[in-house]
Structure 1
Amino acid sequence: MATTSKQLQWYPGHMAKATRQIKEKLKLVDTIIEILDARVPVASRNPDIAQLLKKRKKTHIILLNKSDLADPKRTKQWISAIKKETTAQHVMAFTAYNRGDRSKLMSVLQQGESKKCLICGIPNVGKSAIINTLANKKKAVTGNKPGVTKGQQWIQTEEKIMLLDTPGILWPKFDSERIGNELAWIGAIKDTIFEKENLAGELIKFMMQYYPDRIQDRYQLEDISGKKPWEIFDMICEEKKLLVRGGEYDYGRASNMLLTDIKNGKFGRITIDMPESETE
């Protein structure tokens, strides 16, 4: 992983500005819809947002978005855990552009007589896609990379509910190296600020621990049980013919392939943050 100074470079001035703007807009809304990535519900939860909501009497809804990419059993476990440890009135699994999920969320918003909702979360958790789903049309710009939403905009649904889209905001310092890795894996921060081979190596370690069959199937590898991460790298390079001049393995291309595949859900439905029951 990169040096400590590198770790801090992902927190640009526009995020600090966006945090201040969200704080100012809180007084204009009655409901906060906080978006998490269902694959990493711990790593994708910005502690600054929880702090902003503290002592404010607002309806708080937490959506575990991209649940179609996460392990459904573990998503259920996370919903139960989050309900116990937060004051959020509603915690729901969600997939943008899923009509059933839209209906469930709109029902909650209408029952609570919500009129103005602020959508917030870290970069690339699908805030704009959710707004487009609720608005039934493409109103907010989307993209599978951080920083697509640059400013704040109000959007109205057919049900006369106002939605405020906000840029993704991160916090200045990670509590652990693992959180930084996970956020890079899902595309919440640019993986260019890390050493990609180290980042991909940590991904292989994780996959070997929890989903060894997925990495084996994805790259058509022979038995990988008991293999070390660097041996898996070699096997991937060999199978996919990732070579540089002289016949040496191209670990850079292999790393890019691994990181692109995890970002785009090519390993199937996996959960990266494990519930306590899975880590005991």
Structure 2
Amino acid sequence: MVLAQLPALPVPPSWFPGHMMKFTRMLPALLKRTNVVLEIRDSRLPLTSINRTLEGALKKWRLERGWDPNHPGRRTIAVEACEHIVVLNKRDLVPEWGMEPFRKAIAKKFPHQQMLFASWQRPRDIRNLSEILVNLAKDYPHAMELNVLVIGMPNVGKSTLLNALRNMGIRGPTPKAFQTSANPGMTRALSTRLKLSLDPLVYAFDTPGIMLPFLGRGEEGAERGVKLALIGT
């Protein structure tokens, strides 16, 4: 009796598809024309949503721009802006009482990072972030423009936050620049430059969300995967 061959099972979707690998390889070259890295994380998982895949490139970028390797908060050469700003997005989904203690703890451990909680639904948060970027541009009046690179895991709200920043920084009606979705993976390629401010000139690039290539082994990796799944990344 000859048994019929069963059809092959479908290939499961990759945690780290090709467009993510492509952007990861592009990052060092992109950083050469970047003044501010705006890293977006999810306030509900402020540590688990750290994108450690990109940390090596960011560290090299800072060193090349004159930041002291022995004192991360001190810069020896400052010809142009070079800042790493962490935005903990979706603050409206976490309790207020935990924000300030966490901010102080992170500031103590990572003195080279500016960090703020934000939500695109709170105009005050968007105005605050917009003013930070504009003031950075004003600190370097000889530079023609300030270029911002927005990075983070999938579905942490990068495109939505950029749309809100554009609406805040450009007077008059501004059409929605980037499509957004409740599902991860809407942005799959580096965007064209988006103008966030006219005077001084501030531009931003939206980027595809980059997942961790490897979540970890055993219970630790499983826990990280479940947490990221629960917030939709």
TM-score bracket relative to the smaller structure: 0.7 to 0.9
Name stretches of at least 5 consecutive residues in structure 1 with no aligned partner: 1-5, 189-280
Moved over 4 A (4+): none
**1:180 alignment counterpart:** 225
Report the secondary structure of 2:60's partner residue: coil
**1:166 alignment counterpart:** 207
**2:35 alignment counterpart:** 30
The amino acid of 2:105's aligned partner reads A
Cα deviation for residue 72 of structure 1 reads 1.5
Cα deviation for residue 9 of structure 1 reads 2.9
Q: Distance in 2 between matches of 1:14 and 1:64?
A: 24
The amino acid of 1:117's aligned partner reads V
Q: Distance in 2 between matches of 1:185 and 1:108?
A: 31
Paired residue for 1:73, among 97, 100, 110? 97
Structure-1-length-normalised TM-score: 0.62
Q: Do the aligned partners of 1:63 and 1:93 also contact (CA within 8 Å) in 2?
A: yes
Question: 23-32 vs 47-56, which deviates more?
Answer: 47-56
Task: Pick 1 or 2: higher relative contact order, CA cutoff 8 A, min separation 6.
Answer: 2
Q: Deviations over 1:158-202 (max 9, x none)?
A: 3431001000001211132211111000000xxxxxxxxxxxxxx
The amino acid of 2:212's aligned partner reads W
Q: Do the aligned partners of 1:116 and 1:162 also contact (CA within 8 Å) in 2?
A: yes
Q: Distance in 2 between matches of 1:140 and 1:97?
A: 17
The amino acid of 1:90's aligned partner reads Q
Q: Equivalences for 1:115-264 in 2 at 5 Å?
A: 115-136=146-167, 137=174, 138-153=176-191, 154-159=193-198, 160-175=201-216, 176=220, 177-188=222-233
Cα deviation for residue 7 of structure 1 reads 9.5
**1:46 alignment counterpart:** 51
- Over the aligned positions, Cα root-mean-square deviation in angstroms equals 1.9
Q: Distance in 1 between matches of 2:121 and 2:27?
A: 25
Q: Distance in 1 between matches of 2:50 and 2:13?
A: 18
Cα deviation for residue 108 of structure 1 reads 1.1
The amino acid of 1:116's aligned partner reads N
Report the secondary structure of 2:161's partner residue: helix
Structure-2-length-normalised TM-score: 0.73
Equivalenced residue count is 183
